[in-house]
Structure 1
Amino acid sequence: MIGNSLSAELLLDRDVTDAQKDQLVTMLGELGVRADARRALAHRGPAELGWVVLLALPLHAFLSGLGAEAVKDVYTGVKSLLRRGPRGDGAGSEDTGGGVGGGVGGARGPLVLHDSVSGLRVVLEADLPAEAYRQLVALDLTAYRIGPLHYDRHREAWRSELDEAAG
């Protein structure tokens, strides 16, 4: 539970059901995060990231208030919830190795954390190792300007290729 209540915005893919939306809001509320949920526009440009859930909040406060295991639990909870079918019974939960959302009306994609202060985005992909979550909560987000941040499994580090390219 986070000491002071945080406000967050949940932007959901159109394939996330109302029941799933309500469960996500409840799950975040139990962590002390007051979430306002809304739907993404039906049409996005080809350059948009293919996420299923985008959680926008003061990221530093969220990460430092929860710790690595709790952030991993949030991700696991969102992933588990979205794998269930529209009836919440596991129907359509077939996963072919994609990110969060396997089986949600065919939706695929990661959970994206969006820092409402800096605009930086952190992409939580499927099956991140525990070390990725430990590094994430200790990460100096001010060291990045462009993002999005992805965990590089080969380098075992969070990085932004766009920041690296910009020098």
Structure 2
Amino acid sequence: MTEAPLPAELLLDRDASDDLRHELVSALEGLGVRTARVRRAVDHRGAADIPWIMLASLPLQAFLSGLGAEAVKDSYTAFKNVVRRSSGEADPAPPRPLVLQDRGTGLRVVLEPGLPGEAYDQLLRLDLTGFGEGPLHYDREQGRWRSELDEAAG
């Protein structure tokens, strides 16, 4: 993906299995991400927190830009498959997403279960500097990534 591996920290929900942890770390490493630390979340969360199964903190724009390279297509497909499978990892409904968080800005991108292929394609070309606040969600009706908080702020 890039010459130097991108550093990342992963925070897994405490209900995520060890098998899922291993699959996620392997999928990210295949995409050129060096996982510096993997931790489990504690039970308490704030009201504004997203009920995710995994939160990955990394240089997000560099990560997304590198995913479009031909050399990582198989690894990217493996990553998308892990995202799809992980949403059903913990039984309590509703399924929980994976969240990518930019280490510098704190902007979050929510990878929800069952995203269409076009959502991933758009994500690879998305310029994150156009967003001030997150989280970013893929709006299936409008067929685009958006931040409701940015839109509300004008």
TM bracket, shorter-chain basis: 0.7 to 0.9
1:56-111 Cα deviation digits (max 9, x unpaired): 1101111111129654541322432x3xxxxxxxxxxxxxxxxx1x1425373101
Aligned residue type for 1:14? R
How far residue 19 of structure 1 moved from its aligned partner, in angstroms, is 3.7
Please report the TM-score for the alignment, with normalisation by the length of structure 2.
0.85
Q: CA deviation at 1:10?
A: 0.7
Distance of aligned partners of 1:77 and 1:114 in 2 relative to their CA distance in 1, 3 Å threshold: same
Following superposition, which runs of at least 4 residues in structure 1 exceed 4 angstroms of deviation?
A: 68-72
**In 2, Cα distance between the equivalents of 1:6 and 1:58?**
7
Match of 1:32 in 2: 32
- After TM superposition, the structure 1 = structure 2 runs for residues 86-101 of structure 1, keeping only pairs within 5 Å, are 100=87
| Partner of residue 162 from structure 1, selected from 140, 149, 153 | 149
- Match of 1:163, SS state, is helix
Supply the AA of the counterpart residue of 1:77.
V
Could you tell me how far apart the structure 2 residues matched to 1:103 and 1:4 are? Answer: 31
Q: Out of 74, 78, 84, which is 2:79 matched to?
A: 74
Give the unaligned 5+ runs of structure 1.
Answer: 83-99
Shift of 1:126: 1.3
Label 1:158 to 1:14 Cα distance change in 2 as closer, same or farther (>3 A): same
Q: Does the CA contact (< 8 Å) of 1:71 and 1:133 recur in 2?
A: no
Distance 1:76 1:27 in 2: 9
For the aligned residue pairs, the C-alpha RMSD in angstroms reads 2.0
Aligned-partner Cα distance in 1 for 2:23–2:127:
31
CA deviations on 1:17-39 (whole Å, 9 max, x unpaired) are: 23432332233223221112101
Aligned mates of 2:133, 2:30 — CA distance in 1: 31
Partner of 2:23: 23
- 1:40, distance to aligned residue in structure 2 (A): 1.1
Aligned pairs for 1:100-115 within 5 A? 100=87, 102-106=88-92, 108-115=95-102
Structure-2 residue corresponding to 1:57: 58
* Aligned residue in 2 for 1:6: 6
Q: What TM-score, normalized to structure 1?
A: 0.79
SS of 1:38's partner is strand
Counterpart of 1:147 in structure 2: which amino acid?
G
Is the contact between residue 55 and residue 112 of structure 1 (CA under 8 Å) also seen in structure 2?
Answer: yes
Unaligned runs of 5+ in 2: none
